[in-house]
Structure 1
């Protein structure tokens, strides 16, 4: 609903908070700052499931999350009259958990772990147990189902509007693939020249860094120790692997220099985008800040005195995955496919729904 001469009136909070704020944080560098980015993914997926009859109003939707998707799915379920069950990691803090519970979601968390593989395996194993006891539940499978690409067409439209005509470079966490990959695919469908730079944590198997480990802590949500089948490797031009230490330092710098208070994945994307712009200033660079920095206050921002200066951090440019090394490595991926991708499930770069 739009009231003439006033701001738009939304029918639900999910619709109000999904749109990002595009913020110029440097020459030819734009930050897309979301409150919770995956609202696009969750709203688009739930709406499609209802429209196709795969689920009905009142059904229970279940999934695993390190935090951002949990909030998004709970809001989407609240918006469309669904029940919600979240199996979360310990990064789902008290502030978020209380919100989820009041929204009507059932929330349970796996035991604390600083190991990416153990954390994700425990969550997926718990979902399997719940589905055995509740076969009517619908597993959203944010890690595997390309239905989660659908909502990001609107983000691509926004990028197309705010970024001047010409070559683009989009930088952000890979995660499940249904964010950076989806936005880039939609932009390319619209005729934009887009280089896609994915950001990963050390320890993620998605692009072959399973043999590495961050000595500090995992950066939630942008990597995986288990196969994420909806990551389309052939969409990516470059990859950056960033440690907690460097991501924290960049997130602090982003807040200090621009006022943007965003999470660790945003810090890693900002760091990578600044470097990519230094290497190729012919492109407008856009990076994603997928959530606010609230849940990282204790683990990261409270350590701001330890933050490294931006100009002291440089990536190790590598030619092979065997050369990966903490704290920061970068590599040209050149839109190659991966043996992890099940091509029969995802035959093209364009979302099929």
Structure 2
């Protein structure tokens, strides 16, 4: 019988898959190293086990002890599997931008999850770096993994991921591309590949809001480069010891929007259901495609599984809220499609200004059409109300008809985006769209901006 003694023995030997549709305009052969077939569904399984086993050899973790780590979720999953098999407790410290799916998965495999705020300095006592270190000092018989500076991280990829890629490509690889977070994967794989062939190019994918690219190019750690971003698993506001900048030939930054959309396209066009950093890696590859030749063999590593992002990247509403959804909006009907199931909020001309204020608060909207005898006769918007009430608070008890602005223009749902845009200006804040069924919906400046961004 061909069996494994435990789940940890199934880590590694992940497939190399040719990409076809997304890379059709790339001259080189593009191959994806799909790490989702690891038991924890990510590349991090490799280094998680290596770090624990090296800690055991060094005597840093004792039987029945507690493993503590700050993680974006994937390292936590790898550690969880190792802890289950080896009999350790696990505490995972995450920042609050990580997907709910990642947190739920960690709890499902027995980890205790502690959530920290994202938008704080690494040295802040609330950061997930600081909380991880603090817990390790407070809990007896515990060990703080520190994947960022624990060099067993990159050693794992030097020992396993790098040799696999070299063997699978029969030594023909010319470029290795991967998103960079802790730096273990790119540095370990890169070291192995460059020892085999120093001409192989190692390209790291970074994100806007991270320090890596500028530091590589200038040697300057610029805090002005640091700001919150959405892409998970890559980029940092620190310089982890595992990032070997001498191994990495260049960094390329990819926007949150492009990373998200290429992640979705990988699923729909290649049938590869992977996570956010994979989309960033493909985005970076396509930005650099003009530097590739026909005989080049490019390996792009995909870190983790798409199931960890179903509530975010693969959720249309989440994407739309952030302006990431690539929608083909050409008409007024397209503009109202996302809220066409919601009735238009209106006010009667005879109502009081205080009623208008209540409606704006209740529905969290900025402007409301005013009707009389079934006809649109005016409009009310929050900026007008604000100006009026600052000067004359007693107007709260006046009728809306006495303070309302002109009625919003009305267009058919077939009106073009350009036609609607021209109607919205400094004086006119919205347009009403009449559908074929006779119902009306509103288009605001925000709708136009979202469609054009």
TM class, shorter-length: 0.7 to 0.9
> Matched residue of 1:230: which SS?
coil
Matched, 1:144 2:153: no
Q: Which residue of 1 aligns with 2:217?
A: none
Say if 1:101 and 1:107, in contact at 8 Å, map to a contact too. yes
Say if 1:174 and 1:181, in contact at 8 Å, map to a contact too. no
Runs of at least 5 residues in structure 1 that lack an aligned partner in the other structure: 310-353
Shift of 1:270: 1.2
Say if 1:262 and 1:289, in contact at 8 Å, map to a contact too. yes
Say if 1:85 and 1:106, in contact at 8 Å, map to a contact too. yes
What does 1:122-137 correspond to in 2, within 5 Å? 122-134=127-139, 136-137=141-142
What does 1:37-52 correspond to in 2, within 5 Å? 37-52=43-58
Once residues 287 and 31 of structure 1 are traced to their aligned partners in structure 2, the CA distance between those partners, rounded to angstroms, is: 5
Once residues 161 and 10 of structure 1 are traced to their aligned partners in structure 2, the CA distance between those partners, rounded to angstroms, is: 23
Alignment TM-score, normalising by the size of structure 1: 0.76
Q: Which residue of 1 aligns with 2:33?
A: 32
Question: For residues 103 and 240 of structure 1, do their structure 2 counterparts lie closer, same or farther at Cα, with a shift above 3 Å needed?
Answer: same
> Matched residue of 2:298: which SS?
strand
Q: List per-residue Cα deviations over 1:87-128 (Å, max 9, x = no partner).
A: 1123444444344334332221114x4678699961012123
Question: For residues 55 and 131 of structure 1, do their structure 2 counterparts lie closer, same or farther at Cα, with a shift above 3 Å needed?
Answer: closer
Once residues 167 and 18 of structure 1 are traced to their aligned partners in structure 2, the CA distance between those partners, rounded to angstroms, is: 19
> Matched residue of 1:73: which SS?
helix
Deviates further, 19-28 or 173-182: 19-28
Once residues 265 and 178 of structure 2 are traced to their aligned partners in structure 1, the CA distance between those partners, rounded to angstroms, is: 17
Higher relative contact order (CA 8 A, sep 6+): 1
Name which of 63, 73, 91 aligns with 1:67: 73
Once residues 34 and 55 of structure 1 are traced to their aligned partners in structure 2, the CA distance between those partners, rounded to angstroms, is: 28
What does 1:193-212 correspond to in 2, within 5 Å? 193-208=199-214, 210-212=223-225
Q: Which residue of 1 aligns with 2:299?
A: 286
Deviates further, 139-148 or 163-172: 163-172
Say if 2:207 and 2:231, in contact at 8 Å, map to a contact too. yes
Shift of 1:264: 1.3
> Matched residue of 2:203: which SS?
strand
Question: For residues 251 and 115 of structure 1, do their structure 2 counterparts lie closer, same or farther at Cα, with a shift above 3 Å needed?
Answer: farther
> Matched residue of 1:179: which SS?
helix
> Matched residue of 2:209: which SS?
coil
Once residues 30 and 118 of structure 1 are traced to their aligned partners in structure 2, the CA distance between those partners, rounded to angstroms, is: 39
Shift of 1:137: 1.4
Question: For residues 154 and 272 of structure 1, do their structure 2 counterparts lie closer, same or farther at Cα, with a shift above 3 Å needed?
Answer: same
Question: For residues 210 and 169 of structure 1, do their structure 2 counterparts lie closer, same or farther at Cα, with a shift above 3 Å needed?
Answer: farther
> Matched residue of 2:212: which SS?
coil
Q: Which residue of 2 aligns with 1:157?
A: 163
Question: For residues 167 and 289 of structure 1, do their structure 2 counterparts lie closer, same or farther at Cα, with a shift above 3 Å needed?
Answer: closer
Say if 1:50 and 1:57, in contact at 8 Å, map to a contact too. no
Once residues 141 and 307 of structure 2 are traced to their aligned partners in structure 1, the CA distance between those partners, rounded to angstroms, is: 35
Say if 2:69 and 2:92, in contact at 8 Å, map to a contact too. yes
Runs of at least 5 residues in structure 2 that lack an aligned partner in the other structure: 21-27, 37-41, 215-221, 329-453
Matched, 1:296 2:309: yes
Matched, 1:229 2:238: no
Q: Which residue of 1 aligns with 2:443?
A: none
Once residues 122 and 200 of structure 2 are traced to their aligned partners in structure 1, the CA distance between those partners, rounded to angstroms, is: 32
Question: For residues 116 and 18 of structure 1, do their structure 2 counterparts lie closer, same or farther at Cα, with a shift above 3 Å needed?
Answer: farther
Say if 1:248 and 1:307, in contact at 8 Å, map to a contact too. no
Q: Which residue of 2 aligns with 1:54?
A: 60
Q: List per-residue Cα deviations over 1:239-275 (Å, max 9, x = no partner).
A: 1111110111211222222101111110011122234
> Matched residue of 1:231: which SS?
coil
| Number of aligned residues | 301
Say if 1:50 and 1:56, in contact at 8 Å, map to a contact too. yes
Say if 1:175 and 1:223, in contact at 8 Å, map to a contact too. yes
> Matched residue of 1:166: which SS?
coil
RMSD between aligned residues: 2.7
Say if 2:16 and 2:33, in contact at 8 Å, map to a contact too. yes
Say if 1:167 and 1:192, in contact at 8 Å, map to a contact too. no
Once residues 89 and 163 of structure 1 are traced to their aligned partners in structure 2, the CA distance between those partners, rounded to angstroms, is: 37
> Matched residue of 1:285: which SS?
strand
Once residues 125 and 160 of structure 2 are traced to their aligned partners in structure 1, the CA distance between those partners, rounded to angstroms, is: 29
Q: Which residue of 1 aligns with 2:91?
A: 85
Say if 2:68 and 2:135, in contact at 8 Å, map to a contact too. no
Matched, 1:259 2:282: no
